[in-house]
Structure 1
Amino acid sequence: MKVLIVEDEIIVARQLSNSLKKLNYEVVAIATSGEEGIEKTALTQPDLVLMDIVMPGEIDGIDAAEEIRRRFSIPVVFLTAYADQETVSRAAMTDPFGYILKPFQPKDLYATIQVALRKHQVEKELEAATQKAEAEKRQKSELVSLAAHEFRTPLTAIKNLAQLLEFYSEKLTEAKKQRHAQQIQHSVDEMLKLLDDILTLSKVEKGSLAFEPSPIYLEGFCINLIDNLQFIAGDRYHLVLNYSGDARQPVCVDSYLLRHILSNLLTNAIKYSPTGGKISVQVNCQPEQLVFKISDPGIGIPSADLDHLFESFHRSSNVGDIPGTGLGLSIVKQCVELHQGAIAVETHLNQGSTFIVTLPRQPLDQCTISPS
């Protein structure tokens, strides 16, 4: 535990230093004025400052303590032999962490320091809890606002298309009716995905999103997923699936989490490749791990966004008017981590991105359900 002494009486300062060392505290420096105390606080970053109240110089111990508390959030304990009522009142206004009366006893010194450090720790914990609560409140507010905004677009589309079919059905060709029905289905699928993402994110925040592995046949799982997404993506996109390793053997994974991982990555690959093109999915089934690579020819990700890529609600600065919630990659990362896996990205602006997901291969004897 590091302590800085700010005391202009050098004999008192040395007595304090010797007593602190005997109590197993580290004295990082001794300062003899308020100005020097602030400088040495910045230099040594102590855990606690012992500050004499009455000192020579332009600023006394009270002003120095207030500056240290404001700039460095380090607890200050005042040293005093006597002071007038005005000085005591000023000292109290700085919300000090304690007082030590000179001449001091080692046991009083130890007790005061321990109480001060504990008080400071409690303050830090309360501040952290308050900040966490405020952040959660903001996140919930953002989520509600985001959900309302994102649901509005598909709901409006469904309403308008339903009205077209209701009032102008006789004037529409069968092909147009079919196209409008498909657009309604697409809007419903968008809403269901958004709702699923919100519910999954809620489970993550509550810590109730569990890892429940079961054996699946990875080849059939991936084919079904990609066929569904290919139908939604349309003809401008070509989703290509390639395997290496023993993809036809059952593997032990959490199929619910894996579906979230792959569907979110593939949906993003489609969404952020606005001109269409080839979306590549490579599945490498190795003895110890499963590796999935999803590559797209899209807009890429600016380097400035990479550090925040997997944070909730973050969207890259180059997405423009491409719709999205900023939830998908956050959910992907949580699902990967529940597998005790890892996710990485290789990206080039205006050339595309490749997301690489590596999941440890669980022993089949950990899965008691029949493979599906």
Structure 2
Amino acid sequence: MEQVLNKIRVLVVEDEIVVSEDLQQRLSGLGYEITGAADTAAAAIRLAASQRPDVALMDIMLHGRPEGIDAAEHLRGELDIPVIYLTAHSDTATLHRARFTDPSGYIVKPFDDQQLRVAIELAPFRHEMERKARRVARWMTATLTSIGDAVIATNTHSEILLLNPAAEKLTGWTQDEATGKPSGEVVRLVNQKTRQPLEDPATRALRDGLVVRLDPDTVLITREGGERFVDDSASPITDETGKVLGAVVVLVDATGRVAAQNRVDTLTRQVKGLLAEKDNYELKGAELEAFATAVSHDLRGPLQAIAGFSELLARSQRERLDASGQLFLDRVHASALQMGCMVEDYLGFLKSNREQTLSVTELDLKHLAHAVFAELALVPGQKPAQFVCEELPRAWGDEAMLRQVLVNLIGNALKYSAQREHPMVEVGAIAGEEAGEDCHTFFVRDNGAGLDLANAAKLFEPFQRFHSTAEFPGTGVGLAIVKRIVERHGGRMLAESQPDAGATFFFTLPSKAPGMTAALQ
């Protein structure tokens, strides 16, 4: 929107003075602002770093050498500035190299005003769309990496493209070692009873064009020669036109076979959507909404059933099971409960990204904090904690959303201080008027395990955990949701902590109604 209201700022990089002057005059006549002109790659980089133009017009050949490509690589990769190449004629090798710098367009000399206008107007827009797509791709890649089951993706020739960390651990192959190898070499399957080799599931899915699943007696032969019972699902990956892009295979350790089967389909759809969108280099919000709806519908009910029936089975039939059977039953029940928490947290994170309307009212956060603590402190078996809540200034915001902020922060405080002899949770504030600001700073403090803030930049990112699930259960989504909600209210987040010395999380909220209106814009 800013580039529509303001002039697009253009850097000109051209070694022929006459051409450069003509180009600058044309651009000025078309209403663009010239941030500078350079005739070498070094000068172009210096000007771009200091002036930060919206787009650069870059001659590929500068003084007889393809220096424009080197400059474009720096502008695109280091400064995040879109580049449009100016070219008259270049050899095939130079053009091939230029293409790999991901330019925003080409203008062939001699150029005309219409050609310039179209290329310059489209370049910033295309660059911004690509930036958003890259952010979404990174987010989805983080999601894929956090998945506990083994995920393997292939191309249309059944050659390995991707192994997530769980797949590396299960098969014994690393991503670098497996890339490009036939899927059947990495995913070696045999029937445990007959010892007959089984056809590679990715190849079957690509050939038949259908989702395929393994028999219950399937065993995976790891790279080191070990054997593991696995459940498996494989499916072709297609784009919106029906074109086959490859196949995805999901391998699950069969110890929790019944619980795992309910997760496989959803994971397969998730990975199919991820790879199809990465191929298209674009991900739309509507598809994320569809994914959230599918997860809610397909997983909530079955997971509750698994947890409930496994608990009933444990109560009525536990004594009839041997030690291994009891262990497997406990794992099924625990996995169902954990997966249920993950589903709710993932859905909460997706919902926090939506541009839903805020219902802004003046809030009594002290009353809200006491209500949340009273609710969370009633968990059976949880050690009683001391709760300190001083007088809090009133703030403006959406009550439901800010309640979720307190639920997540106070819930974390209770969880991470539960192992202390005397757990303590404190809620306080620093009034904004005292500091001459239009916002109040609130905090939630505990005397729990604390954390190392060496990687503080990742603290509020989704799926980031600083403790193992064996120490403290969780999915790594709660703080990301808190940050999203606080930012929706025009606030900011800050954390202070040291290992074994507790943690304090600060967040700001508007102190006045007019300030809230401005912040939300």
In 2: Cα distance, 1:300 partner to 1:324 partner: 15
Q: 1:135 to 1:164 in 2, by over 3 A?
A: same
Secondary structure at 2:14's aligned position in 1? strand
1:325 to 475, 500, 503: 475
Per-residue CA shift, 1:26-66, capped at 9, x if unaligned?
55333xxxxxx44444444382223458x6xxxx44x4444
Q: Confirm or deny: 8 A CA contact 1:17 1:27 kept in the other structure.
A: no
2:462 to 297, 312, 328: 312
Per-residue CA shift, 1:68-122, capped at 9, x if unaligned?
4445443321246xxxxxx565565445712224xxxxxx465554444345435
Q: 1:112 to 1:50 in 2, by over 3 A?
A: farther
> Partner residue of 1:100?
109
2:142 is the alignment partner of 1:128: no
1:345 to 492, 495, 510: 495
1:50 to 44, 52, 59: 59
Q: 1:355 to 1:17 in 2, by over 3 A?
A: same
> Partner residue of 1:370?
none
| Cα drift, residue 264 of structure 1 | 0.7
Structure 2 spans left out of the alignment, 5+ residues? 1-9, 29-33, 77-82, 100-104, 150-261, 268-298, 320-332, 434-438, 517-521
> Partner residue of 2:346?
198
1:229 to 376, 394, 410: 376
In 1: Cα distance, 2:147 partner to 2:470 partner: 22
In 2: Cα distance, 1:195 partner to 1:239 partner: 31
Q: 1:262 to 1:194 in 2, by over 3 A?
A: farther
Secondary structure at 1:121's aligned position in 2? helix
Q: Confirm or deny: 8 A CA contact 2:490 2:510 kept in the other structure.
A: yes
Q: 1:140 to 1:321 in 2, by over 3 A?
A: same
Q: Confirm or deny: 8 A CA contact 2:352 2:485 kept in the other structure.
A: no
1:29 to 30, 38, 45: 38
| Cα drift, residue 260 of structure 1 | 0.9
Secondary structure at 1:257's aligned position in 2? helix
Structure 1 spans left out of the alignment, 5+ residues? 7-12, 31-36, 81-86, 102-107, 170-183, 367-372
Per-residue CA shift, 1:283-326, capped at 9, x if unaligned?
45959766543211222232222122111112236877432211
2:163 is the alignment partner of 1:19: no
| Cα drift, residue 333 of structure 1 | 1.5
Q: 1:202 to 1:89 in 2, by over 3 A?
A: closer
In 2: Cα distance, 1:246 partner to 1:297 partner: 24
Per-residue CA shift, 1:156-194, capped at 9, x if unaligned?
77555433322469xxxxxxxxxxxxxx9x999977765
In 2: Cα distance, 1:112 partner to 1:330 partner: 44
> Partner residue of 2:385?
238
2:428 is the alignment partner of 1:279: no
> Partner residue of 2:11?
2
In 2: Cα distance, 1:187 partner to 1:145 partner: 11
Q: 1:207 to 1:233 in 2, by over 3 A?
A: farther
How do 1:201-220 and structure 2 match up within 5 A? 201-208=349-356, 210-214=357-361, 218-220=365-367
Q: 1:283 to 1:233 in 2, by over 3 A?
A: farther
> Partner residue of 1:334?
484
In 1: Cα distance, 2:485 partner to 2:58 partner: 46
1:261 to 398, 405, 420: 405
Q: Confirm or deny: 8 A CA contact 2:13 2:57 kept in the other structure.
A: yes
In 2: Cα distance, 1:133 partner to 1:253 partner: 28
In 1: Cα distance, 2:431 partner to 2:35 partner: 53
Q: 1:348 to 1:253 in 2, by over 3 A?
A: same
Aligned residues: 316
In 1: Cα distance, 2:35 partner to 2:510 partner: 46
Q: Confirm or deny: 8 A CA contact 2:464 2:476 kept in the other structure.
A: yes
In 2: Cα distance, 1:161 partner to 1:220 partner: 37
Matching residue's letter, 1:165 = R
Q: Confirm or deny: 8 A CA contact 1:240 1:280 kept in the other structure.
A: yes
In 1: Cα distance, 2:376 partner to 2:502 partner: 19
Q: Which protein has the larger Cα radius of gyration, Structure 1 or Structure 2?
A: 1
Matching residue's letter, 1:264 = N
Secondary structure at 1:28's aligned position in 2? strand
Secondary structure at 1:98's aligned position in 2? strand
Matching residue's letter, 2:352 = V
Q: 1:162 to 1:111 in 2, by over 3 A?
A: same
Matching residue's letter, 1:238 = A
Q: Confirm or deny: 8 A CA contact 1:215 1:253 kept in the other structure.
A: yes
Secondary structure at 1:272's aligned position in 2? helix
Q: 1:230 to 1:189 in 2, by over 3 A?
A: farther
> Partner residue of 2:85?
76
| Cα drift, residue 352 of structure 1 | 0.9
In 1: Cα distance, 2:377 partner to 2:425 partner: 12
In 2: Cα distance, 1:285 partner to 1:116 partner: 51
Q: Confirm or deny: 8 A CA contact 2:416 2:472 kept in the other structure.
A: yes
Range moving further from structure 2, 281-290 or 116-125? 281-290
Q: Please report the RMSD computed on the Cα atoms of aligned residues, expressed in angstroms.
A: 4.5
Secondary structure at 1:280's aligned position in 2? strand
Secondary structure at 1:232's aligned position in 2? coil
In 2: Cα distance, 1:132 partner to 1:245 partner: 37
| Cα drift, residue 239 of structure 1 | 3.3
2:297 is the alignment partner of 1:163: no
Q: Confirm or deny: 8 A CA contact 1:78 1:98 kept in the other structure.
A: yes
